[in-house]
Chain A
C-alpha cells in the first residue's frame, strides 16, 4: 500500500482507489488484529508468567521469567511431540503429494462414470476428521478390526493381529496412514485444477514432434505444474504441523508419547493441566519453528524457480 507522500502527485482517482482499498480490507484487518495479532502478542506475555486457566482470585499471576522455556527442554512429551511432527511432515508430505498427483492424472481422463471416482476419492476430505478417526479406531481394532482381518487373509494367517493403537512402534505409522487417506483428496483437486490449466496445444505439439507419453509427462506436465506443486507442498506441510484431531481422538498422544504431537501437548497442558503460561511458551517456540521451516522451504523453492 503506497503511503500518502507518494500518492500526492497522482490523479485523484488513485487516491480514491487507495481509500477504497483500505475500506474494503478494513473488515479483514480488524478481524486479523482481534483474532490473530492480539492473541499472539498476549501469548508472548503469558509465556513468561505462571498464568493458570482458572486464575485464583486471591493469588495474582506472577512473572516467572524464562522458567517455562527452560522447562521445555526437559519435557519429554514436548520433545517427542516435536520430533513426531517432523517425522510426520517428512513422511506424509512427499507421499501425499505424489499420491495426489497420481490420482489427479487418473481422474483427469475422459471416461464414463469418472465423476463417481472423483467423488469417492474426495469423500474422506469432506468427512469430519473426528468421524474418520472414530471409524478408523474400529478398523484398527485387534479383535474385530477390518485391517487385521485383511492382513490375516492376504498372508494366509501369518500376519497379525496387531494392536495398532497400543503398540509404540505401530501407532504413529497407523495415524500417518489414515491421515494420508483422509487428506489426499484435497491435494488431488488442486492438482486436477492445475492439470486442466495446461493447454492441450502443448501436448498436440509434442505428439507432432514424436514425444511418447512419458516424455510428455516429464517435459510438459511436471514443469507446467510447478506453481501447483509449490502450493501443495507448502499447504500440506503447514497442515501436517497442525496434526491434532485424529491423535486426540484415537490415542491422546500415547502410548508412552509414541503418537504425541505438539498441538496435542499444548491442549493437554493448557486445558487439561490448566497451565496456560506453559502452554503459551510451547506455542511460541512451535510457531518460531514452523515459521523457520516455511521460510527455508520458500527460499529453496524460489531458488529452484530462478534456475529453470
Chain B
C-alpha cells in the first residue's frame, strides 16, 4: 500500500508542477531598464552617451533570427551614437504581444508588423509617418508593392526589407509527361481553361493522386486570406469595396465573389484538391500532388536535393482565373511608433536594415523577395532568368495586390477565414459570404467607418 500512496503523491505532484510551470511562464523579458539618455551634448562628443533605440522583432525562422541578431551586433559596433536594444518575441503570439504592448502604452521605438496589421496601429495613432525620413531616391528604389503596403491614408508608415511571392510551383517532369505547356513569364500565364486542362492531364498520371496542393494543412489563420483572397479579386470581387473601405456588401458577396468561391469549392468536390492533406510534403516529398499553390518560403524544401524535388521544380506565374491574374503579397514591415523619443536614431537603424547589402543578407537567408530593385538586380535567384524571377514580375507588373489597406483588416481576415474554411468543408458559398459581409460591415459601422487620423 505504501507504494500506491507514493505513486499517487508523485502523480499529483507531477500535475501540480505542470500547472505551476504553465502558470509561471515568465513574461517576455522586459527591456533592461536603460535610462533614456539626454540628447548628447554637442560640445563634448567624447563623453556622449549613445542613444538607446528599443526594437521589437518577430523571431521567425532560425535564419531570420540569426541574420537580425548579426545585423544588430554589426550596427552597434560600426558606430557609437546609437545603441540598438533588440528584443525578439516568438512569432506565434507576436501580434498578441504587440496588441498587449499597445494596450499597456509600452511599445518600443521601432517594431515590425505582419503585413496589413500595420494599418490598425497607424489608424489608432501609435505610428508615426516616415515620409520626412525616407529620401525620395531610396523610396523610388523600393518595389511598388512595398510602398503600397506601407502607405495608409496617403502617408508612408513602414518599409519592409523583403516582400513575399505567391504562385504555383510545379513538378517539371509531371508537366512534361502530361504534355502541358510551361509558361515562363506573367505575359504567357495559363488561362482558366488551360489551367483546368493541365490539371485534368496531370490527374491522368499514375503518380499523381490529386492535382494541386493548397497547403490547407496550415489550418486557420492569415494564410487563407493571403493565399486565396486573390481568387476573388481575379474574378472581379474583393474582400471589401476599396473605393471608400466602408462596406464589403456586393464585393465579398456579389456574383463575382460567389462564382470565384464556387469554382474553388468545386476543385475539392471534383477531386483536384483535398481539404485535409496528410502532411506538408505531398508536393515535394511523397510527390502525390503535381502542383503546389504556395509562397516563396517553400523554396528551400522544394529545391532540396534529398528531401525535395531538386532541379525538378518550376515556378509558374499565377494563372488568369477570372478577368486578370491576381496574387497576394506583403510581408513583415518596419514601423516607427509615435512615442519614439528619437525617430532619427530609430530610422538610422532602419536605413541600415534596408541597405542593399543588408537586404540581400536577409533574403539570402530566408528566401524572400528583396524589397529593393537594386538588391533584386544583384540576386541570382530573383534577377532576370532566375528560378524565382516570376515573383518579381508579379510584384512589379501589377499582378500582386496588397491586402485591404484598412484598420478593419483584422476583422476582415477573421471573417473571411471562417467563411473560407466552411466553404472548403462544403458549406453554401452565398450564405457563408453573406455572413462574413455582415460581420465586416457591423465592425466598420461600430467604428464610425474608421475615420482617418488628421
Contacts and interface: CB of A to CB of B under 8 A. Distances in A.
Interface of A: 50, 52-59, 76, 108, 115, 118, 122, 125-126, 128, 138, 141-145, 163, 165-168, 186, 189, 192-193, 196, 251-256, 268, 271-275
Interface string B1-31: 1011101100110110010000000000000
Given A108-B4, A141-B278, A145-B278, 13 more contacts: A59-B447, A76-B435, A125-B15, A126-B15, A166-B276, A166-B424, A167-B425, A192-B8, A252-B219, A255-B426, A256-B427, A273-B415, A274-B99
13 contacts: A59-B447, A115-B3, A115-B7, A118-B7, A145-B278, A166-B425, A189-B8, A196-B5, A252-B219, A254-B220, A255-B422, A268-B414, A274-B410
A166 B275 contact: yes
Given A58-B453, A118-B7, A274-B410, A255 B421 contact: yes
A163 B278 CA distance: 11
B133 interface: no
A55 B12 contact: no
A84 B445 CA distance: 30
B276 A165 contact: yes
Contact of A143 (B3, B15, B274): B274
Interface string B263-288: 00000000000111111000000000
A251 B446 CA distance: 28
B217 to A, nearest CB: 9
Interface stretch (B122-130, B252-260, B344-352, B381-389): B122-130
Contacts of B7: 115, 118
Q: Which of B425, B447, B451: most chain A CB closer than 10 A? A: B425
Contacts of A141: 276, 278
A76 B411 CA distance: 17
B142 interface: no
B275 A163 contact: yes
Nearest to A50: B446
Q: Which 7 A-B pairs have the closest CB atoms?
A: A255-B425, A57-B125, A252-B220, A144-B278, A56-B124, A143-B278, A272-B414
Given A54-B126, A166-B276, A274 B411 contact: yes
Contacts of B453: 58
A253 B422 CA distance: 10
A288 B18 CA distance: 29
Nearest to A127: B18
B120 interface: yes
A141 B282 CA distance: 14
B124 A57 contact: yes
A273 B3 CA distance: 52
A204 to B, nearest CB: 15
Contacts of A275: 443, 446
B418 interface: yes
A273 B422 contact: no
Q: Which of A54, A108, A128: most chain B CB closer than 10 A? A: A54
B121 interface: yes
B103 interface: yes
A189 B102 contact: no
Nearest to A164: B276
B276 A163 contact: yes
A168 B354 CA distance: 48
Contacts of B219: 252
B123 A56 contact: yes
B187 interface: no
Nearest to A53: B99
B96 interface: yes
Given A126-B14, A254-B220, A54 B4 contact: no
B421 A54 contact: no
Contact of A54 (B102, B414, B427, B451): B102
Contacts of B14: 126
A105 to B, nearest CB: 13
Given A166-B275, A189-B11, A254-B220, A58 B125 contact: yes
Given A53-B99, A126-B14, A163-B276, A254 B4 contact: no
A268 B5 CA distance: 43
B425 A168 contact: yes
Contact of B126 (A57, A138, A163, A252): A57
Contacts of A196: 1, 4-5, 8
Contacts of A54: 99, 102-103, 120-121, 124, 126
Interface in B398-429: 410-411, 414-415, 418, 421-422, 424-427
Contacts of B447: 52, 59
A138 B123 CA distance: 41
A55 B427 contact: no
